[in-house]
Structure 1
């Protein structure tokens, strides 16, 4: 019997969560839910989202002066608070903030910023101390310590390619694009069948992980309660709908990850950015509504971020690669606040925003407050951000 099933039978408290014994469900409980089980959902905006046109410092005269071709009109900004407001495409984000379910973290970045998409994404995904190159992701390192034994679905990446953030020494995560089609026939090998060759054993462990993960995912989908929320017909919305089904089907993964590309807006930014933010808004708000109706939102913390922001001054048609940008945290009983100062457009670093909050401090806060985990155990030495939860 594996550890998860043993805990379910004994009804043990673990990590602040109560796992109900299976025999109780014969007495009228509708779904096999794990009460209080926290999980994280990361939405990565690839290409470098323009934070200044996402959460907009519309009262700062320098905003319009430095962006004569792409500035959003004051009359269009949504949910204005302390001189900041959302892009008009982000009506759902404005509603979530008004509901007290969305926090904005201003000016997030890191020292000596890198403007390469690949390298900056890698830095966010591995969370190095001094920009050293790491083979494992920060979430993969967390799962290596969290999973006392191999758990193939501890992390789920809904995508076509693996995500470095989830890579660890053990295969505790799975990448899958269409969960309902992820059916692998076969039987996992037992430990007695493994060889003395460590490389071959690792390959077999991955193969076993795929088989076991496929079984767990199909079981969760079968148990997932139907939803009356109609998601948009976009890739991100479909990915988030899958994640909702897996959460409600009691897969009990600690981390879910997905992404949305197309934010590299060097040209034709007004139209492209509006379309991308509309995709983001509609998908996330449907996911949020689904979780709220199923009473899961308090257990699910959604994190939206990009590898860097854009330059403050426009280039005539768009913006080039920049540095600091806002992060958004939704659900998980966050405080619904705006953390950090408004972007200071009068004090730039060679035309770029100066970062004020290190992204690793946000990671440390999420690990500490939602997963009761000490971030220093995976090499993150930054102090946890206060005021988020």
Structure 2
């Protein structure tokens, strides 16, 4: 069984009580991570979000010419500024932006873009080139260097499967579906020596990491309560859990979750409206909770998708494209709109040309928020100026 499959089986709490044999209880609780005030929270929009109908170039006639079936009415666009504005479902994100807490980074992508969902997600999650294959995720590589040996909750992924972004050489992250549905193990610790079998030792280490991580999560949850009403959606619940762990001083450096449903080849108007509405409501609750707790300056929320959609509609929706906007909320960002407005007159075979490489955004997050040199994990140290 390979490491990734094992983590999928042992690192995900899908329900019930975590039961481990006694020899796996030998891993005592250790706080080895280098603790800092800042943490990163990622929301991955799976399926390829249509950036042009999310942050809309409403003042460009080509937008309406190329999208006769799905273009949004100019009068419905909110938070309008310099020819751009938000989808009407994102009314609260527009408010956050006007409050100076949301930065929009336009035309983000990478050279030689890949339009396969799986491959493009892999590129984003490993911070690799389009022709390069990397086994560990960019956040996993970062956590390997930030942790002494291993720290099970340095990264927390709210999902039913592991996320490649957090995969490293050490088990420094844990995947959780519902923290309410597992219990802390007994405090009795047995002394167990490692064996001469590397595979067995590895299994012990992973399972011990899961057990220890469950304890740390439960301790953090016991120290916090929810003070804001969250929407009753999967994303809303995940962000509520993340807020509680942050408030409970879990001290994780990275939190990760996702929202699906953005592969809008058909019926885009209705599907996109619903998805963006769910995204807006969940994010605004999270944002409001962090503001109320005076923690917004310590938490940087990053929203992205593996690619955008093609500029011209297909009649009822859009097909796989390339560049799209990213959104940064909190972390004392400067609340700007960065990059030029999408150039709809200069396309690459019908797709937007990317202006900003996503790895520059990663470099900015690592350098400015984590005080970490991105070169150490093979990401060029070329951060963007002006986000923070």
Query: Would you say same fold, with TM above 0.5?
Result: yes
CA contact (8 A) 2:31 2:151 kept: no
Report how many aligned residue pairs link the two structures.
361
| Match runs of 1:144-183 below 5 Å | 144-183=144-183
CA contact (8 A) 1:189 1:208 kept: no
1:49 is displaced (CA, Å) by 0.1
Instruction: Determine the structure 2 residue equivalent to 1:29.
Output: none
Instruction: Determine the structure 2 residue equivalent to 1:236.
Output: 235
Instruction: Determine the structure 2 residue equivalent to 1:128.
Output: 128
1:260-306 deviation line (CA, Å, top 9, x unaligned): 00000000000000000000000001000000000010000000000
Instruction: Determine the structure 2 residue equivalent to 1:28.
Output: none
Instruction: Determine the structure 2 residue equivalent to 1:316.
Output: 315
Classify the secondary structure of the residue corresponding to 2:40. strand
Instruction: Determine the structure 2 residue equivalent to 1:269.
Output: 268
| Match runs of 1:285-324 below 5 Å | 285-324=284-323
Instruction: Determine the structure 1 residue equivalent to 2:12.
Output: none
CA contact (8 A) 2:185 2:215 kept: no
Which 4+ stretches in 1 moved above 6 angstroms? 187-191
- For residues 114 and 129 of structure 1, the distance between their equivalents in structure 2, rounded to whole angstroms, comes to 10
Q: TM-score, normalised by structure 2?
A: 0.90
1:200 is displaced (CA, Å) by 1.4
Classify the secondary structure of the residue corresponding to 1:212. helix
Instruction: Determine the structure 1 residue equivalent to 2:115.
Output: 115
Instruction: Determine the structure 2 residue equivalent to 1:227.
Output: 226
1:128 is displaced (CA, Å) by 1.2
Instruction: Determine the structure 2 residue equivalent to 1:339.
Output: 338
1:146 is displaced (CA, Å) by 0.3
Instruction: Determine the structure 2 residue equivalent to 1:4.
Output: 31
2:362 maps to 1:363: yes
- For residues 190 and 82 of structure 1, the distance between their equivalents in structure 2, rounded to whole angstroms, comes to 64
5+ unaligned residues in a row in structure 2: which ranges? 1-27
1:336-388 deviation line (CA, Å, top 9, x unaligned): 00010000000000000000000000000000000000011001115111111
2:170 maps to 1:143: no
- For residues 58 and 308 of structure 2, the distance between their equivalents in structure 1, rounded to whole angstroms, comes to 17
- For residues 65 and 350 of structure 1, the distance between their equivalents in structure 2, rounded to whole angstroms, comes to 17
1:99-153 deviation line (CA, Å, top 9, x unaligned): 1000000000000000000000000000114531111000000000000231100
Classify the secondary structure of the residue corresponding to 2:88. coil
Instruction: Determine the structure 1 residue equivalent to 2:57.
Output: 57
Instruction: Determine the structure 2 residue equivalent to 1:88.
Output: 88
CA contact (8 A) 2:184 2:218 kept: no
- 86-95 vs 190-199, which moves further: 190-199
Classify the secondary structure of the residue corresponding to 1:301. strand
CA contact (8 A) 1:143 1:154 kept: yes
1:228 is displaced (CA, Å) by 2.7
CA contact (8 A) 1:223 1:249 kept: yes
Q: TM-score, normalised by structure 1?
A: 0.90
CA contact (8 A) 1:126 1:165 kept: yes
Instruction: Determine the structure 2 residue equivalent to 1:215.
Output: 215
Instruction: Determine the structure 1 residue equivalent to 2:324.
Output: 325
Classify the secondary structure of the residue corresponding to 2:94. helix
- For residues 375 and 129 of structure 2, the distance between their equivalents in structure 1, rounded to whole angstroms, comes to 11
Classify the secondary structure of the residue corresponding to 1:376. helix
CA contact (8 A) 1:186 1:211 kept: no
2:307 maps to 1:280: no
Classify the secondary structure of the residue corresponding to 1:193. coil
How big is the alpha-carbon RMSD for the aligned residues of Structure 1 and Structure 2? 1.7
- For residues 265 and 130 of structure 2, the distance between their equivalents in structure 1, rounded to whole angstroms, comes to 29
CA contact (8 A) 2:226 2:240 kept: no
CA contact (8 A) 2:112 2:130 kept: no
